[in-house]
Structure 1
Amino acid sequence: MTTRPQRRRGAALTAATLSAALVLTACGGADDSGDNAGGKTEKTRTVDAGNGAVKIPAAPQRVVTIGNTDLPFIDMGGKPVGVTGVAESELSLLPEGQRATFEKATNLGEEVDLEKIAGLKPDLILVQIPDAEFKKIEKQLGAIAPTVFWGLDTEWKELADAIAEAGNVKDTLGRQKADFEGRVAKMKQTYSDVIKNTKFVNLDRYASSDPGTFVIGDIGCVEIAQDDVGLNFPKAAAGADPLAYANLPFEKLAELSKYDVITYPADAKGQPTEVFAPVVKTNTWKALPNVKSDHALGVFCPGNNSYGAVLRYLESLDTALATLPAKK
């Protein structure tokens, strides 16, 4: 139920090279032995990531997040010193405390400035951007601080585990995972009959959609409803593009009567999102039997790339499913 999969932009480059002095400043003059200027051995550990085995501080204190690592790290209680640009549409969905944490960090913008990163003197850099973009800045980032990278094909649960491990926020992740597993188990039990006997379809619409069109959404939060909870939603055939890539004219809404329940994107108050509102205003939508019988459910999805956001989605989905009229 997101307006796009939660894999944001890449990070462009504004400082292609760094001076030696700047690099030394950023790295604090530490060498590969792990001995600092005071002669004390710095505790390190090694993590495996998309860019290989990386030696990082055992308890990093100054973390810079780039690309899709910003919000998951903050969601797990991390307090980055630098973050990349996040759209207001995403920031507006964050809990107040998380937004405050994001805004307190230095905003590196959509185009990542390497000199600005170096000036923050990070001891760890977390990155998820397209592979090709990372290759352009991999050496420069590594010269500033240990850099841990994941490609865009990393599944969200795997990414959460990896960020928690590298960023030393595993305690919060453990609690979130327990809450997630408990919520999913309870929903499977509560809605066992719905899971077995109900045909769902998830609709979506993007800010970039052509006027008069919608999509059958099979990416984003709906994947959790489908794969974890077990609800029966249509999805693309193996190897095919997601259904969500195909714009459909509003006239096609009439074909949705073959499904028992429609889900669609709603805001935190349960109202259709601004982008999806044109769909619910059509006469075709209003005439659908699933709509007339209160089998059209608005569900709030604040994100699908971290456990905290997914838990908020599941709470909304649970509340929506509870409103379904009992079958007679």
Structure 2
Amino acid sequence: MKKSAMLMLCLVLVFALAACAGTDTTPQGSVSDTVTVTDMKGEVAIPANPQRIVDVAGLTEELLILDMKVIASANTSMFDGVSVPKHLTTLFAERGIEVVGNYSGSSSTGDLNLEKIAELKPDLIIMNIRHEKVYEQLAAIAPTVMIDDDISYVNWRGRFKQLGQWFDKEAAVEKWLADYDVKAAELAARIRDMIGDETFAVLEANSVHFGSYYIYRSGGPGELVYDELKLTPSAGVPENVWGEVVDAEYFSLIDADHIFFFSDDGRAGDTGNLAVWKNMKAVKAGNVYFGINEDQYNMAFTAMGKELYLEKLANAILNHGDVE
């Protein structure tokens, strides 16, 4: 009798173990799933639901909008390459996001801390073509995907949409962009009601090429002013370009009713002493809105920053003040 009971118990245990072994306990869409996506290199298998993303592509803002789990970022200041931009400091602190370099760097390591990236044990690295020289080193650390863009700082919508495709979040991307466009249209209408068809130029005292200036068109603040707020470019604003480097004499070709002028300290500085500056229509009318280079570098090229900076630019016009 005892032998029969023992045999029965053994059989029950065997069947129970077999049932457990044959059951898939991995939930649908779990962290162990992978998906094959197309990036700038071709096809690559990446986690479908990554839990430890290191972003060195300049896409941290877009990833956070999509509620992705970023543990480290190279979204540092475009001005000094080291500090966390002001509009991101609270988010980085709250989420414990570490800094591992700068996404636009061009040094031998792409200005990335490869050792720190490895120590963080990411399950996914997102990079851009500017770091191509260290692609193999990054790929040896974790699955690595390269955003399909030349990082001209203009195709931010395309980069955002590609993230949505990779992580099955297209609807979330489209909703965010639609809300952004509604906000831009509302601000544009308010400005149009106030100034009509008056014209604009967007200028920057160039910190790299001293003594020269940028005149923006489709890049950064130019995109926000002309393409999002639908303001009219003045004579002298180039067409179909990101922007151009010009000297002060070029100012004589600009016939803008309003000027956005960016510099390191947010003032005209020595430019204000130039006769060609003093003779500009917008300067004579007092319609110059000053902004700080670091702020526009850090906010005018990525999704969260663009939304914030769009409002700052609009408010400068509506309140007839500086970009603050």
Q: Aligned to 2:272, which of 278, 281, 289?
A: 281
Structure 2: distance between partners of 1:175 and 1:127 = 25
Ranges in structure 2 where 5+ consecutive residues have no aligned partner: 1-23, 103-109
Structure 2: distance between partners of 1:180 and 1:290 = 29
Contact 2:125 2:144 (C-alpha < 8 Å) held by counterparts:
yes
Matched to 1:45, the amino acid is V
Structure 2: distance between partners of 1:215 and 1:108 = 26
Contact 1:82 1:108 (C-alpha < 8 Å) held by counterparts:
no
Q: 1:137 Cα deviation (Å)?
A: 3.4
- 1:215 equivalenced with 2:205 (yes/no): no
- 1:107 equivalenced with 2:104 (yes/no): no
Structure 1: distance between partners of 2:75 and 2:160 = 20
Residues 262-281 of structure 1: CA deviation (Å, up to 9, x unaligned)? 1223xxxxxx6416532563
Residues 19-71 of structure 1: CA deviation (Å, up to 9, x unaligned)? xxxxxxxxxxxxxxxxxxx9858222233221223222221100011142345
- 1:303 equivalenced with 2:295 (yes/no): no
Matched to 1:236, the amino acid is P
Structure 2: distance between partners of 1:153 and 1:104 = 23
| Pair 113,141 (structure 1): closer, same or farther in 2 beyond 3 Å | same
Q: 1:180 Cα deviation (Å)?
A: 0.8
Contact 1:203 1:215 (C-alpha < 8 Å) held by counterparts:
yes
| Pair 225,141 (structure 1): closer, same or farther in 2 beyond 3 Å | same
Contact 1:127 1:148 (C-alpha < 8 Å) held by counterparts:
yes
Q: 1:208 Cα deviation (Å)?
A: 1.6
Contact 1:199 1:232 (C-alpha < 8 Å) held by counterparts:
yes
Partner of 1:315: 311
- 1:148 equivalenced with 2:145 (yes/no): yes
Q: 1:102 Cα deviation (Å)?
A: 8.2
Q: Percent identity?
A: 22
Ranges in structure 1 where 5+ consecutive residues have no aligned partner: 1-37, 266-271
SS of the residue corresponding to residue 47 of structure 1 reads: strand
- 1:68 equivalenced with 2:46 (yes/no): no
Contact 2:202 2:260 (C-alpha < 8 Å) held by counterparts:
yes
Q: Aligned to 1:236, which of 217, 235, 238?
A: 238
| Pair 255,137 (structure 1): closer, same or farther in 2 beyond 3 Å | closer
Q: CA RMSD of the aligned region, Å?
A: 3.6
Larger Rg: 2
Structure 2: distance between partners of 1:320 and 1:122 = 42
Contact 2:55 2:73 (C-alpha < 8 Å) held by counterparts:
yes
Larger RCO (CA within 8 A; separation ≥ 6): 1
SS of the residue corresponding to residue 112 of structure 1 reads: coil
Matched to 1:217, the amino acid is Y
The 5 A counterparts of 1:1-328 are 40=26, 42-74=32-64, 77-84=67-74, 86-87=76-77, 89=80, 91-100=84-93, 104-108=97-101, 111-130=111-130, 133-134=131-132, 136-150=133-147, 151-153=149-151, 155-166=155-166, 173=173, 176-192=176-192, 197-211=197-211, 213-218=212-217, 219-233=219-233, 235-238=237-240, 242-244=242-244, 246-249=245-248, 251-256=249-254, 258-265=255-262, 273-274=264-265, 277-278=268-269, 281-282=272-273, 284=275, 285-286=277-278, 288-298=280-290, 301=296, 302-323=298-319
Contact 1:187 1:318 (C-alpha < 8 Å) held by counterparts:
yes
Structure 2: distance between partners of 1:119 and 1:64 = 11
Structure 1: distance between partners of 2:182 and 2:279 = 38
After superposing the two structures, state which structure 1 stretch, 81-90 or 312-321, moved more.
81-90
Contact 2:72 2:100 (C-alpha < 8 Å) held by counterparts:
yes
Contact 1:124 1:146 (C-alpha < 8 Å) held by counterparts:
yes
TM-score, length-scaled by structure 2: 0.68
Q: 1:261 Cα deviation (Å)?
A: 1.4
Structure 1: distance between partners of 2:302 and 2:118 = 27
Matched to 2:134, the amino acid is I
TM-score, length-scaled by structure 1: 0.68
Contact 2:203 2:261 (C-alpha < 8 Å) held by counterparts:
yes
Structure 1: distance between partners of 2:99 and 2:202 = 37
| Pair 106,169 (structure 1): closer, same or farther in 2 beyond 3 Å | farther
SS of the residue corresponding to residue 152 of structure 1 reads: coil
Matched to 2:46, the amino acid is I
| Pair 297,77 (structure 1): closer, same or farther in 2 beyond 3 Å | farther
- The alignment of Structure 1 onto Structure 2 pairs a total of residues equal to 273
| Pair 96,84 (structure 1): closer, same or farther in 2 beyond 3 Å | closer
Q: 1:126 Cα deviation (Å)?
A: 0.4
Partner of 2:21: none
